[in-house]
Amino acid sequence: MSKVGIIGAGLSGLTLALALHQQSIPSIIYESRPDAPLNIGGAVMLSPNALRVLDRLGVYERIRTRGYTFTKVDYRNAVTDTVTEMQEFGGKDKYGYDALRIYRSELIDVLLEMLEAAGVSIKYGRKFAKVLEETERQVTWEFTDGSRETAQLLVGADGIHSTVRKYLYPDLVPKFTGLAGITAAVPTAQLQAPVDLHLPLTYVLPGKGGFVIAPQQVDGSEQLIGKQRRVEKDLTREEWAAFMADKESQVKFLQDIDPAFPEVVHRAVSNIPHDKINVWPFYVVPRLNAWSSEDQHRRVVILGDAAHAIPPSAGQGINQAFEDVYMLSLLLSDTAKENNKDYLAASLKWWQESRQARVDQVLELNKQIDLRRLPQSQDSDGLEKLNFEVGWLYDIDLDQVVGNWLKEFQ
């Protein structure tokens, strides 16, 4: 494949370009923002399934000492202050990797360094407008400045509000879940946490919801704190900007803590710097029938949040996006079939089906976790059905999965 055009220089787009380079497939990234770095947002949790991908791309060794490593998240009853459940997030002995909580900016910096060394071009200030023409061998698209580009494949890695997706689904609008994550970062010393208190954790107060505490920075010297807030209706871009800018309102929400929560929670919210507050509205994309232009020539593809936005409850949004890009790069690497229309159609169809099956499982896990973090008016029957067995999620070898399919196809 002679050229892949990637719309979006976020984590998905940058990682896709690196994965394609590893397969000797040239690509160019186009980003609407005027310049780098695109390091908005806080920290992300990387689990073994994604770290295995990053390891095979040469990224893991560069980032593993830049974040906080951990293996599990405890769920503690806020009244009794006892552990009721535990969710694995990693484990070197069991899955090959401990989980890693790392600032998005650190990861982006490493990816940018590696792409620069690889000679991959990133063109900033290029905002995608529309696809002009798609043929059996290539696709041509236009930017808002009127300029045009052509490639053998166009990939939309441009997030939940994807403009590339409009080519496939002109009328689709991401659905707001009615929830937003409100988080802040505070010094670990402020918590005065007991030495035997394992972090990260989620305190659950039956009927009142949950409160998350998660270490950040390499030495764990900072803690993310947060809880989920109900928002009655979706907001416009301007309204969300105003909502996020109202730091005092977000501080008051975080500090509105039921007296039944342990003292460590009350100390955590006692002093919240306004510049450390983050608001994350939870959107989902309806289940899509196609992630590529199957009614044309499949020369336009979407992935990551553009194809399957996953709320962050299980910490799998970016992890699943990394799986998307790595599997796609492996499928595109079969250069002997690069111009075989049947191969392109079959591989993209299988790629989407296999990816969607995993996303569906993650969404079910999300649903169960949300039951613990939100104030509950219903009974707690659903809480008893949670299965935190996550081997299916973390213990996967994508090279083997793709290799097995290629053998069947041949």
Q: What pLDDT shows up at residue 379? A: 40
Rounded to 10 degrees, the C-alpha dihedral 29/33/36/37 comes to: -110
**Quick one: what percent of the chain has pLDDT higher than 90?**
80
Give the span between the Cα atoms of 72 and 58, in whole angstroms: 25
Q: What pLDDT shows up at residue 373? A: 59
For 105-119, 142-156, 337-351, 374-388, which range has the lowest pLDDT when averaged over its residues? 374-388
Within its chain, how far is the Cα of 162 from the centroid?
14
Q: pLDDT by residue (tens digit) across 203-237?
A: 999 888 899 999 999 999 999 999 999 999 999 98
Residue 386 pLDDT level (bands cut at 50, 70, 90): low
Q: What pLDDT shows up at residue 163? A: 98
Give the span between the Cα atoms of 271 and 262, in whole angstroms: 16
Q: pLDDT by residue (tens digit) across 324-366?
A: 999 999 999 975 455 577 899 999 999 999 999 999 999 888 8
Q: Residue 96: pLDDT above 80?
A: yes
Residue 315 pLDDT level (bands cut at 50, 70, 90): confident
| H helix intervals, 119-234 | 165-168
Burial tier of 93 (Cβ tally within 10 Å: 0-12, 13-18, 19+): exposed
Helix, strand or coil, per DSSP, at residue 166: helix
> For residues 4 and 25, is the Cβ–Cβ distance under 8 A?
yes
Of 55, 322, 373, the C-alpha closest to 206 is: 373
Residues in contact with 228: Cβ distance below 8 Å, sequence separation at least 6, in sequence order: 179, 180, 181, 182, 209, 210, 370, 373, 374
Q: pLDDT by residue (tens digit) across 127-181?
A: 999 999 999 999 999 999 999 999 999 999 999 999 999 999 999 999 998 989 9
Share the mean pLDDT of the chain: 92
Of 280, 390, 318, 363, the C-alpha closest to 44 is: 318
**Quick one: what percent of the chain has pLDDT higher than 70?**
93
Q: What pLDDT shows up at residue 356? A: 96
pTM of the prediction?
A: 0.93
Phi, psi of 288 (to 5 degrees): -95, 140
177-283 has CATH 3.50.50.100 classification: no
Q: What pLDDT shows up at residue 50? A: 98
Q: Would you list the domain boundaries of the chain?
A: 4-67+102-174+285-409, 177-283
Helix, strand or coil, per DSSP, at residue 156: strand
Q: Quick check: bond before 200 cis, omega within 30?
A: yes
Q: pLDDT by residue (tens digit) across 80-93?
A: 999 988 989 999 99
4-67+102-174+285-409 has CATH 3.50.50.60 classification: yes
Q: Could you say which DSSP state residue 263 is in?
A: H
Residue 385 pLDDT level (bands cut at 50, 70, 90): very low
Q: What pLDDT shows up at residue 42? A: 83
Q: Residue 253: pLDDT above 70?
A: yes
Radius of gyration of the chain (CA): 22
Q: What pLDDT shows up at residue 214? A: 97
